[in-house]
């Protein structure tokens, strides 16, 4: 699976994250309200965000999310854990957007682009969401995610251990789901 594509939508451009994106992306990420419900609620701090950014570069599946009208970086997301066995799966996550771009439009367009790209190679996409992150959990339901695991395990964050739940979208459900209906 190509985890470093350039994807273009009506409002957004997704392209591979680069080291020189640090300043622009941290300018977005330094807003504490973005991380308020996130398990890593202190990721707005540079000492916490820097390892997150460096890991995104090292893993090779991260994209910068760019507002096409302004050319500004407004967030990031990534593909991780590609498993080509038995039809294949990949996880989409580590997503955040500037509050100026919150709401359904940008998140849904970004997820539609990422899902359509992933389904060229896999049958299932998983999303691991902090169990108390009601904003992200609601967004998952709106884009057609089906809760598949109430206990998605504990993930260590710089803030300490965090419980997650797992949502899934299959190729078939995506083709007939709310994102393709738009």
Write the pLDDT tens digit of every residue in 52-78.
999 999 999 999 999 999 999 999 999
The per-residue pLDDT string of the chain (182 residues; one tens digit each, 9 = 90 and over) reads: 999 999 999 999 999 999 999 999 999 999 999 999 888 889 999 999 999 999 999 999 999 999 999 999 999 999 998 888 877 999 999 999 999 999 879 999 999 999 999 999 999 999 988 888 888 888 899 899 999 977 655 666 656 667 788 999 999 999 887 777 55
DSSP string, 81-142: EEE-GGG-EEEEEEEEE-GGG-SHHHHHHHHHHHHHHHTTT-SEEEEEEETT-HHHHHHHHH
Domains of the chain: 7-176 (3.40.630.30)
The CA-to-CA distance between both ends of the chain, in Å, stands at: 26
Backbone φ and ψ for 117, nearest 5 degrees, come out as: -65, -50
Taking CA atoms, 168 is separated from 65, 107, 172, in Å, by 22, 16, 11
For tokens 């009601």, name the residue: 134
Using alpha carbons only, give the angle 99, 102, 103 rounded to the nearest 5 degrees: 155
Residue 55 structure tokens: 């890991």
């Amino acid at each position: 699976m190509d985890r470093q594509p350039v994807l273009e939508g009506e409002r957004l451009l997704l392209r591979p994250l680069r080291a020189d994106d640090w300043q622009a992306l941290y300018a977005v990420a330094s807003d504490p309200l973005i991380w308020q419900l996130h398990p890593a609620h202190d990721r707005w701090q540079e000492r916490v965000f820097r390892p997150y950014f460096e890991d995104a570069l090292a893993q090779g599946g991260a994209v910068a999310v760019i507002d096409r009208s302004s050319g500004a970086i407004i967030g990031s997301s990534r593909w991780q854990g590609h498993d080509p066995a038995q039809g294949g799966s990949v996880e989409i996550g580590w997503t955040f957007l500037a509050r100026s771009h919150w709401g359904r439009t940008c998140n849904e367009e970004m997820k539609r682009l990422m899902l359509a790209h992933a389904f060229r190679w896999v049958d299932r996409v998983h999303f691991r969401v902090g169990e108390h992150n009601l904003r992200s959990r609601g967004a998952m339901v709106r884009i057609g995610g089906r809760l598949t695991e109430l206990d998605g395990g504990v993930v260590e964050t710089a803030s300490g251990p965090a419980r997650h739940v797992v949502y899934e979208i299959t190729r078939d459900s995506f083709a007939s789901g709310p994102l393709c209906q738009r």
